[in-house]
Amino acid sequence: MTDYKQKIAAAVSANVDMCSADVYECIEYPKNPEMGDYSFPCFRLSKTLRKAPALIAKDLCEKLGKVEGFSKIEAAGGFLNFYLDDALVAGEVIKEVLFKKSEYARSNIGGGGTVVLEYSSVNIAKPFHIGHLRSTMIGESLKRIHRFFGYNTFSINYLGDYGTQFGKLIVAINRWGDKAAIEQNPVPELLKLYVRFHEEAEKDDSLNDEARQTFVRLENKDQEVEAQWKFCVDASMIEFSRIYKKLGIDFDSYNGERFFSDYMQPVVDELRTMNLLETSEGAEIVNLDDVGLIPAIVQKRDGSSIYFTRDLASAHYRKKNYNFVKSIYVVGSTQALHFKQLFAVLAKMGRQWADECKHVQFGQISIVGGKLTTRGGNVIFLEDVLEAAREEISRIIEEKNPKLPNRETVEKQVGYGAVIFQELYTSREKDYVFEMEKVTNFQGETGPYVQYTHARCCSLLRKAEAQGLSPSGDFRAELLLDDASVAIVKLLRKFGDAVELALKSYEPHHVARYAVDLAKAFNRFYYENPIITDDRELSGARIALVGAVRTVLAEAMNLVCIDAPSEM
């Protein structure tokens, strides 16, 4: 596809004292379409040229005259606005989408470099609740977005499968557990036992000692305890796998903390050799005063390990085994200090790749009753949310399209998609309060809206096909000059930019919003224009446009992890 920015940069730089690359960087998209498709702000030039920006724009406009590919160039205040030749662009863009299909707008800026993404990271023996959805979906979407740009990806579910709480859990199983009940309903039963442990430990502190000893046995790979640990992991994973399947996600690795506990020692040894370790209040720490952080604990007073050390080990393991160009941690903002410390220690160890590590943080999720507390029982299970949305979709399908083929599949695609989409529709960092009504309301800016639009495109394409008409690059673009068509074409051109913005800011919501914008533009076009008409040429042009919209919508939906059913 023609790079029109390049054309502008070349033309402008020939007339002012700026190199083409600098001009290229300055070019922006006016938000109001009446101001053209590209804009070059002249304010910066006013210092060197000692002229008013508006005057510079005016002079430049005259000097440029006509530039190929643009129908009009206009000076407006200090801006020089460029208007694309709509018919030319429509022909070019639609042909490109139809030809490249799901490859459209992709590029290879990643060059095959590996990006490691850690996300979801659920805790064994604890429920998968609504609070885990953000990490899970942001991580998965970022994975797909990186692939879009030619990165290789490696996704890790860094399971919370280690630590003193497993000592507590195993003690509770031994004392009060009912094996059959646990096998029947693993996570809720284990959670009950965990809660009970804390209640009983209030009265009897010796339970805590017993738990600590049990964890030490686990660290020492005591076979009996290890078997119980494994039982908890396996039972929990059955439940988690079911949920990941509903979300359409799988991971390249489920190596959790337990796995990396075997890799800690060499790192600790190296810290010691490098004289980076200090003893403070009985613990082994890395002092981080020089970077304005509190010390990082590497070894506890009692000599046992801590999660910081395991994270340190896992970072090394990942660099060594996957040789990443980027390592992304999708973890809540409550861990911000932890990751600052982690990256700071890596830097102190002379790891240049420390700045290839990135903490992608997000705000806290709470529910109406306040904070999410698994132990306190103030929790909403993710699966309940997914199913509630699916049931609501089922009700709507019953009402609108009861004869829908593959109905059960579609209910899942749309219901689960609604939950996923609303999570990825807003920026990461704000806290938010989860409400069930939000995910069972499907009007307006929602996943089902985008899916509905896609299904509508598919329906049109089926109807056209029945008349021997299918999207083809052989159409007359000058028939697509009505406002709605032009607006769609402009959006189709910007797809790559939207995804790239998401990549650079680690914000999938840019893609989700793009999908809604495109759907909105299409629905307006649909309302204003009969697509399949007696006029064969006109129909051909419009069907080409519909085909292009369908393709890009489907790809955008894929990037934000929702399915694109062809009927709903």
From candidates 16, 130, 285, 312, binder to RNA by CB under 7 A:
285
Q: Choose the stretch contacting RNA; rule: CB under 7 A; options: 1-9, 156-164, 184-192, 198-206.
A: 156-164
Strands (E), 85-133: 114-118
Closest approach, Cβ 124 to RNA, in A, equals 10
- Distance (Å, rounded) from C-alpha 484 to C-alpha 492? 12
Applying CB under 7 A, does 24 fall inside the site for RNA? Answer: no
- Rule CB under 7 A: which of 71-90 touch RNA? 76-79, 81
Closest approach, Cβ 23 to RNA, in A, equals 13
Applying CB under 7 A, does 444 fall inside the site for RNA? Answer: yes
Q: What is the 3-state secondary structure (H, E, C) of 504-563?
A: HHCCCHHHHHHHHHHHHHHHHHHHHCCCCCCCHHHHHHHHHHHHHHHHHHHHHHHHCCCC
Q: Taking Cα atoms as reference points, which of 555, 512, 435 lies closest to residue 106? A: 555
Q: Choose the stretch contacting RNA; rule: CB under 7 A; options: 83-91, 262-270, 300-308, 347-355.
A: 300-308
From candidates 97, 393, 511, 541, binder to RNA by CB under 7 A:
393
From candidates 22, 59, 219, 445, binder to RNA by CB under 7 A:
445
Applying CB under 7 A, does 186 fall inside the site for RNA? Answer: no
Closest approach, Cβ 61 to RNA, in A, equals 12
From candidates 49, 147, 452, 496, binder to RNA by CB under 7 A:
452
Report which residue type is found at 1.
Answer: M
- Distance (Å, rounded) from C-alpha 449 to C-alpha 212? 52
Applying CB under 7 A, does 526 fall inside the site for RNA? Answer: yes
Applying CB under 7 A, does 295 fall inside the site for RNA? Answer: yes
DSSP, collapsed to helix, strand or coil, labels residue 264 as helix
Applying CB under 7 A, does 507 fall inside the site for RNA? Answer: yes
Applying CB under 7 A, does 371 fall inside the site for RNA? Answer: yes
Applying CB under 7 A, does 330 fall inside the site for RNA? Answer: no
Of residues 69 and 152, the one with the C-beta less far from RNA:
69
Applying CB under 7 A, does 229 fall inside the site for RNA? Answer: no
- Rule CB under 7 A: which of 204-223 touch RNA? none
Give the side-chain half-sphere CA count within 13 A for 105.
Answer: 23
How many residues of this chain bind RNA (CB under 7 A)? 98
- Rule CB under 7 A: which of 302-321 touch RNA? 302, 304, 306-307
Of residues 353 and 432, the one with the C-beta less far from RNA:
432
Antiparallel, parallel or unpaired: β 326-330 and 357-360: parallel
From candidates 1, 64, 276, 283, binder to RNA by CB under 7 A:
283
- Distance (Å, rounded) from C-alpha 406 to C-alpha 232? 36
Do you know the residue count of the chain?
Answer: 568
Closest approach, Cβ 178 to RNA, in A, equals 26
DSSP, collapsed to helix, strand or coil, labels residue 346 as helix
Closest approach, Cβ 546 to RNA, in A, equals 9
Tell the burial category of 212 from Cβ atoms under 10 Å away from its Cβ (0-12, 13-18, 19+). middle
Applying CB under 7 A, does 520 fall inside the site for RNA? Answer: yes
Q: Which residues contact 25 (CB under 8 A, 6 or more apart)?
A: none
Of residues 324 and 449, the one with the C-beta less far from RNA:
449
From candidates 448, 471, 540, 547, binder to RNA by CB under 7 A:
448
What does the block give as tokens for 33?
């379409």
Closest approach, Cβ 161 to RNA, in A, equals 8
Q: Taking Cα atoms as reference points, which of 532, 396, 385, 384 lies closest to residue 470? A: 532
Applying CB under 7 A, does 358 fall inside the site for RNA? Answer: no
- Rule CB under 7 A: which of 395-414 touch RNA? 396-397, 400-401, 414
- Distance (Å, rounded) from C-alpha 402 to C-alpha 408? 11
CB 133 within 8 A of CB 382: yes
- Distance (Å, rounded) from C-alpha 14 to C-alpha 281? 67
The gap between the terminal CA atoms of the chain, to the nearest Å, is 34
- Distance (Å, rounded) from C-alpha 555 to C-alpha 544? 17
DSSP, collapsed to helix, strand or coil, labels residue 470 as coil
Of residues 27 and 114, the one with the C-beta less far from RNA:
27
Q: Taking Cα atoms as reference points, which of 235, 216, 217, 237 lies closest to residue 225? A: 217
- Rule CB under 7 A: which of 108-147 touch RNA? 123
Closest approach, Cβ 371 to RNA, in A, equals 6
Q: Choose the stretch contacting RNA; rule: CB under 7 A; options: 100-108, 180-188, 525-533, 550-558.
A: 525-533
Q: Choose the stretch contacting RNA; rule: CB under 7 A; options: 129-137, 226-234, 437-445, 469-477.
A: 437-445
- Rule CB under 7 A: which of 31-50 touch RNA? 31-32, 34-36, 39, 41, 43-44, 47
